[in-house]
C-alpha cells in the first residue's frame, strides 16, 4: 500500500510539471512591474483617449490586443516628425519609450495592476520615416528596452519594426502590442 501511495504522488508531481505549472506561469517574488516602474521614476499618465472610432484595448481570453498609440506627453503635445529628415534616432527612441509608457497606462487601466501581465507577446512598431531611412529597429528599441526593464524576461517579445510614409498627426512612431495576462 505504501508503494502505491508513493507512486501516486510521483505521478501527480509529474502531471503537474508536464501540464505547465512551472515558474513562468506563476509570478515570483522578484516579479513586480509596479515596483520597477517606481524604481525607474516613471509615473503612468491617464491613458490617452482614442482619437477615432475604436477602443484602447480588447481582451480575448488571456490575451489583450492594444490599439496603436504614439508618443504623446501628458500635456497633449507629441513627438512628431520624420526620422531621417526632421528628427534623430535618439529622439525617435525617446518617442518609442514614451509610447511604451502610454501603453503601460492603458494596460494598468484595463487590469488594475501590471502584476497581472504574464508576458509581452508581440509588438508592431511603425516609424514615420523617409524612404532611405533603415534604422527602424534602433528607434523601436526605445519601446522594447522599457518593456524588458519593467517586466524582465517576461518583457521580451516578438517584434516587427517597419517604416511608413506617414502617421496620424505626423507622430514619429506608433506602436501596438499583444499581451498575455493571468486569469
Q: Which residues pair with 174 in a beta bridge?
A: 126
Which three-class secondary structure state does DSSP give residue 170? Answer: helix
> Which whole-number Å values give the CA distances from 80 to 8, 83, 96, 147, in the listed order?
63, 9, 11, 22
Helices (H), the chain: 2-18, 33-39, 89-111, 136-151
pLDDT value at residue 16? 38
Q: Which residues pair with 122 in a beta bridge?
A: 158, 178
Q: What is the dihedral of CA 102, 87, 158, 156, to 10 degrees?
A: -60
- Asked if residue 105 has pLDDT above 70, the reply is yes
% of the chain beyond a pLDDT of 70: 84
Q: What is the dihedral of CA 159, 142, 75, 178, to 10 degrees?
A: 20
pLDDT value at residue 27? 54
The answer to whether the CB of 33 falls within 8 A of the CB of 83 is: no
pLDDT value at residue 7? 45
Determine the Cα angle at 152 with ends 45 and 27, to 5°: 95
Which three-class secondary structure state does DSSP give residue 177? Answer: strand
Q: What pLDDT band is residue 29 in, cutting at 50, 70 and 90? A: low
The answer to whether the CB of 22 falls within 8 A of the CB of 118 is: no
The answer to whether the CB of 99 falls within 8 A of the CB of 174 is: yes
Span 113-160, pLDDT tens digits: 999 999 999 999 999 999 999 999 999 999 999 999 999 999 999 999
The count of other CB atoms within 10 Å of the CB of residue 176 is: 17
Delineate the domains of the chain, giving CATH numbers in brackets.
27-181 (3.30.1330.40)
- Asked if residue 30 has pLDDT above 80, the reply is no
The larger pLDDT score, comparing residue 55 to residue 13, is at 55
pLDDT value at residue 8? 40
Question: What is the average pLDDT value for the chain, to the nearest integer?
Answer: 88
Amino acid at each position: 500500500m505504501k508503494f502505491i501511495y508513493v507512486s501516486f504522488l510521483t505521478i501527480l508531481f509529474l502531471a503537474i510539471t508536464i501540464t505547465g505549472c512551472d515558474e513562468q506561469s506563476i509570478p515570483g517574488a522578484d516579479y513586480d512591474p509596479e515596483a520597477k516602474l517606481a524604481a525607474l521614476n516613471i509615473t503612468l499618465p491617464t491613458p490617452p483617449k482614442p482619437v477615432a472610432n475604436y477602443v484602447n484595448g480588447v481582451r480575448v481570453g488571456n490575451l489583450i490586443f492594444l490599439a496603436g498609440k504614439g508618443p504623446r506627453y501628458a500635456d497633449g503635445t507629441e513627438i512628431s516628425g520624420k526620422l531621417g529628415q526632421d528628427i534623430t534616432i535618439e529622439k525617435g527612441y525617446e518617442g518609442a519609450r514614451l509610447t511604451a509608457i502610454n501603453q503601460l497606462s492603458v494596460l494598468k487601466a484595463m487590469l488594475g495592476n501590471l502584476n497581472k501581465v504574464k508576458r509581452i507577446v508581440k509588438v508592431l512598431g511603425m516609424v514615420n520615416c523617409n524612404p532611405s531611412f533603415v534604422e527602424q529597429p534602433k528607434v523601436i528599441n526605445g519601446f522594447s528596452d522599457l518593456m524588458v526593464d519593467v517586466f524582465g524576461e517576461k518583457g521580451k517579445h516578438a517584434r516587427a519594426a517597419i517604416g511608413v510614409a506617414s502617421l496620424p498627426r505626423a507622430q514619429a512612431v506608433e506602436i501596438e502590442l499583444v499581451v498575455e495576462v493571468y486569469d
